Amino acid sequence: MSEVVRWRATITYRKTGRLRYLGHLDVARAMERAVRRAALPVAYSEGYNQRMRLSFGPPLPLGAEGEGEIVVATLTAKLPESEVLWRLGAQLPADLGVVTVTVEPAAGPTALNLIRTALWRMQLAAEPSLTRGELAQAAAAVMSAQQLALRDNDKVTDVRQGIVYVEAGSREAPLELTALLGASGHNYLSPDKLLRLLESLLPRPATLRWTRLVRVRFET
């Protein structure tokens, strides 16, 4: 098989509004169909099951929003970034809108390989209700700990290394939380696990759940 020059489009997009209720596979399919409608010169895998060469970042929990989600498309021809942005953007609703596009030769690690952390913002509901101070106390306990064990089914793991930082917001209602969490393949921590951990460190027993969850961006 002859070597062809390939290009790589790294696309960041939003997943907001009511489209936050779409699953990861639904979004992947919608994106693939948008790329086909836009008639971008995208590469396909070889073999019987031809698949469009698109790679996605880690899934968002169902119901969570994303402001800087990433998809990497392999292209068979070079296109100006503005043209990819324009053509693909025209095929997507605002709630799945394209934010940025970079096009470069397909060599070396992709943006997805370089992801180390994700910045999350969330609004919380506590049962029974908590004060901002109590939440901040639990967040501070996380930050000062060297190790933090979390029980998941029968497995107990140390999740401290998955937390770069976590801090409570300034409002009392709704309670807010900002966290920079591991988002790479070998060091991933979900916001739900963070909440389970915080529950165990609260000054009095309460359950926490997010009512709004936003993955603001990935960081390298």
Partner 1 sequence: MLADDVLLHVETPGRYVDGEINAVAKPHAKVRLALCYPDVYQVGMDHLGTLILYHVANSREEVAAERCFAPWPDFARALRELGQPLATLETRTPLRDCDLVGFTLQYELTYPTLLAMLEMGGVPARATERRGSEPIVIAGGPGATNPEPLAPFVDLFCIGDGEELLDELLARFEDLQEELGPRRKWGPKQREAALGALAEIEGVYWPAAYELEEVEGHLIPRGGLRAKGQVTARLVGNLESAPFPTAPPVPWVETVHNRGQLEIARGCTRGCRFCHAGMFYRPVRERSPQTLAKQAAELVNNTGYEELSLVALNCPDHRHIEQVIEAVQKAVMGRGVSLGLPSLRVDSFSVQLARKIAQVRRGGMTFAPEAGTQRLRDVINKNVTEQDLLTAVEAAFAAGWLTVKLYFMIGLPTETQEDVAEIGRLINHVASTGRTALGRKAGRMQINVSLAAFNPKPHTPFQWCGQAPREYLEEARARLRQTVRDPAVRLSFHDFGQSLVEAAISRGDRRIGRAIEAARRAGAYLDAWGEFFDLSRWQEALSQTGRTAQEWACRHIPVDAPLPWDIIHLGVTKQFLALEYEKALKGQTTPDCREGKCHSCGVSRRVIGCRGVLPEVLEA
**Piece in contact with partner 1 (CB under 8 A), picked from 17-25, 108-116, 172-180, 197-205:** 17-25
Q: Which of 49, 144, 146, 220 binds partner 1 (CB under 8 A)?
A: 49
Of the pair 32, 67, the CB lying nearest partner 1 is at: 32
Instruction: Check binding of 1 to partner 1 (CB under 8 A).
Output: no
In whole angstroms, the minimum distance from the beta carbon of 112 to partner 1 comes to 21
Q: Which of 10, 74, 91, 117 binds partner 1 (CB under 8 A)?
A: 91
Q: Which of 22, 101, 163, 168 binds partner 1 (CB under 8 A)?
A: 22
Task: Encode burial over 169-184: b for 16+ CB neighbours within 10 A, e otherwise.
Answer: beeeeebbbbbbbbbb
**Piece in contact with partner 1 (CB under 8 A), picked from 3-11, 46-54, 166-174, 189-197:** 46-54
- Site mask for partner 1 (CB under 8 A), range 55-84, x = bound: -------xx---------------------
Q: Is the Cβ–Cβ distance between 113 and 56 less than 8 Å?
A: no
Of the pair 47, 109, the CB lying nearest partner 1 is at: 47
Instruction: Check binding of 48 to partner 1 (CB under 8 A).
Output: yes
Of the pair 97, 140, the CB lying nearest partner 1 is at: 97
Closest CA to 34 of 95, 104, 111: 95
In whole angstroms, the minimum distance from the beta carbon of 219 to partner 1 comes to 27
In whole angstroms, the minimum distance from the beta carbon of 42 to partner 1 comes to 8
Instruction: Check binding of 37 to partner 1 (CB under 8 A).
Output: yes
In whole angstroms, the minimum distance from the beta carbon of 32 to partner 1 comes to 7
Query: Which three-class secondary structure string do you get for the chain?
Result: CCCCCCEEEEEEEEECHHHHHCCHHHHHHHHHHHHHHCCCCECECCCCCCCECEEECCCCCCCCEEEEEEEEEEECCCCCHHHHHHHHHCCCCHHHCEEEEEEEECCCCCHHHHCCEEEEEEEEEEECCCCHHHHHHHHHHHHHCCCCEEEECCEEEECHHHEEEEEECCCCCCEEEEEEEEEECCEECCHHHHHHHHHHHCCCCCEEEEEEEEEEEEEC
Of the pair 22, 136, the CB lying nearest partner 1 is at: 22
